Amino acid sequence: MKKICVITGTRAEYGLLRWVIEGIQQSNTLKLQLLATGMHLSPEFGMTVDCIEKDGFKVDRKVEMLLSSDTPVGIAKSTGLATISMADAFNELSPDLIVLLGDRFELLAASTAALFAKIPIAHLHGGEKTEGAYDEAIRHSITKMSHLHFVATEEYRKRVIQLGEDPKRVFNVGGLGVDNIQKLNLLSLEDLEKKIDFEFREKNFLITFHPVTLAKSTSEVQMQELLNSLMEFQDFGLIFTMPNSDTDGRILFKMIEEFCLNNVSAKCYLSLGQLNYLSCMKYVDVVIGNSSSGLLEAPSFKVPTVNIGDRQKGRLKAKSVVDSLSSSKEISKAIEHAMSLKFKESLFESKSIYGEGGASKKVVDFIEQIAVDKLVKKEFYDLY
């Protein structure tokens, strides 16, 4: 049996990988190895490794790597620590293939360690662009260290090939987030309110704002603009999910906590978990912030997204996404537009640009069929 090591470091990326992990676990020809790292192991970020285990998965290795610092120096040192720890974990597990998704610094560390250990990598959701964050450079770097590529759209497939990857190793399987929406039994509004201890109002927002690591203005300034805008919507229910561990993430934590303490209609959560989060998405009126979930998952619910700033700049967007500059005036204007009856009616016939589901099964099926022992050596694919 081929030993397939899936690496996960955040709640969001685990949510996308959930059904790939289950497919590998249930396969007759694959043996699942699961490695949890990053925010999963931090009480500060909700200790979400517990959620993985509650889903019925055995975590084979827990790789501690996050320092209690979100400065550029702290992030760089955390990445270095992760590289060392990943090397040890791979040496012990001896996987035949590593599976990882996205563009975070812990995954850059894992890819680097795997490269030197001559372990092939299957990379999911490559070829995408997010020009407002250093994730952009990390994602393309991981692409060059990877050997199999499972992308969400044909445009992303072409971009991975443009980076010199063999078209025979690049597969357009669609977006993994669509599978989550189809496979999870989302909660009723009444059950959701009880589970997250939040009373929905007549109108409600779901808000996730991550650090903007390459922006000219600081994350703190942009967050304050967002909070200033939300103050205009006094009677609205405001559900905040906390930002990730990127540079300046802890500053945003404090700002959100203080805002919620002073606003009875607002509540913040370290981690809602995929079931609660997607159930919230189903019932809110607008998804607000700069999280990829507003682009990848919200369109399947036909729920409008107000996408703030440049963090997701370059990523393909559905008709349900309204881009906004990061000033409070522009954010408020975008929210009003997203809530307008005319705009919401325009979404009735819209379709997700990430396919109709089934991406997770396609990934597992490909991995079952491919001879992983012949993947490590690869040639640069020239377009000309």
For residue 217, pLDDT beyond 60: no
Q: Which of 209, 207, 290 is nearest to 248 (CA)?
A: 209
Assigned domain for 379 exists: no
* 161/196 same-domain check: no
How much is the pLDDT for 213?
66
What's the whole-number mean pLDDT along residues 5-10?
A: 96
Which CATH number does the domain housing residue 42 bear? 3.40.50.2000
SS3 content of the chain, % helix, strand, coil (to 5): 45, 15, 40
The whole-angstrom separation of Cα 67 and Cα 77 is 8
* 198/341 same-domain check: yes
How much is the pLDDT for 110?
97
How much is the pLDDT for 329?
96
List the Cα angle 182/184/189 in 5-degree steps. Answer: 105
What's the whole-number mean pLDDT along residues 31-47?
A: 92
* 10/158 same-domain check: yes
The structure's pTM equals 0.85
| Residue 165: band (very low, low, confident or very high) from pLDDT cuts 50, 70, 90 | very high
How much is the pLDDT for 268?
95
Assigned domain for 19 exists: yes
| Residue 343: band (very low, low, confident or very high) from pLDDT cuts 50, 70, 90 | very high
Assigned domain for 384 exists: no
What's the whole-number mean pLDDT along residues 338-365?
A: 90
| Residue 239: band (very low, low, confident or very high) from pLDDT cuts 50, 70, 90 | very high
| Residue 273: band (very low, low, confident or very high) from pLDDT cuts 50, 70, 90 | confident
| Residue 131: band (very low, low, confident or very high) from pLDDT cuts 50, 70, 90 | confident
| Amino acid at residue number 157 | R
How much is the pLDDT for 219?
81
* 158/264 same-domain check: no
| Residue 271: band (very low, low, confident or very high) from pLDDT cuts 50, 70, 90 | confident
Helix H segments across the chain? 11-26, 49-54, 72-93, 105-116, 135-145, 154-162, 176-183, 189-196, 219-230, 249-261, 273-283, 293-296, 298-301, 328-339, 341-346, 359-369
For residue 158, pLDDT beyond 60: yes
| Distances, alpha carbon 69 to alpha carbons 250, 297, 370, in Å | 8, 30, 41
> Long-range contact list for 255-261, CB < 8 A, 24+ apart?
255/220, 255/223, 255/224, 255/227, 256/223, 259/227, 259/230
Assigned domain for 352 exists: no
Structure-model confidence comparison of residues 211 and 321, the more confident one: 321
* 220/162 same-domain check: no
Residue 228: phi and psi, rounded to 5, are: -60, -40
For residue 8, pLDDT beyond 70: yes
How much is the pLDDT for 92?
97
DSSP 229: H
The whole-angstrom separation of Cα 260 and Cα 330 is 22
Residue 326 is part of which domain span?
188-346
How much is the pLDDT for 113?
98
How much is the pLDDT for 378?
93
Assigned domain for 232 exists: yes
Q: Which of 270, 246, 228 is nearest to 133 (CA)?
A: 246
For residue 56, pLDDT beyond 80: yes
* 242/105 same-domain check: no
For residue 43, pLDDT beyond 90: no
How much is the pLDDT for 218?
76
* 228/138 same-domain check: no
Assigned domain for 353 exists: no
How much is the pLDDT for 350?
76
Assigned domain for 181 exists: no
How much is the pLDDT for 214?
67
Calculate the average pLDDT of the chain.
92
* 36/125 same-domain check: yes
* 253/310 same-domain check: yes
What's the whole-number mean pLDDT along residues 342-357?
A: 85
**Highest mean pLDDT of the ranges 129-133, 216-220, 228-232:** 228-232
* 363/341 same-domain check: no
The sign one gets for the Cα dihedral 112, 23, 124, 384 is positive
Structure-model confidence comparison of residues 199 and 129, the more confident one: 199
How much is the pLDDT for 285?
96
Assigned domain for 228 exists: yes
For residue 344, pLDDT beyond 60: yes
* 120/141 same-domain check: yes
Number of domains observed in the structure of the chain:
2
The sign one gets for the Cα dihedral 315, 318, 324, 326 is negative
* 148/200 same-domain check: no
How much is the pLDDT for 216?
58
DSSP 16: H
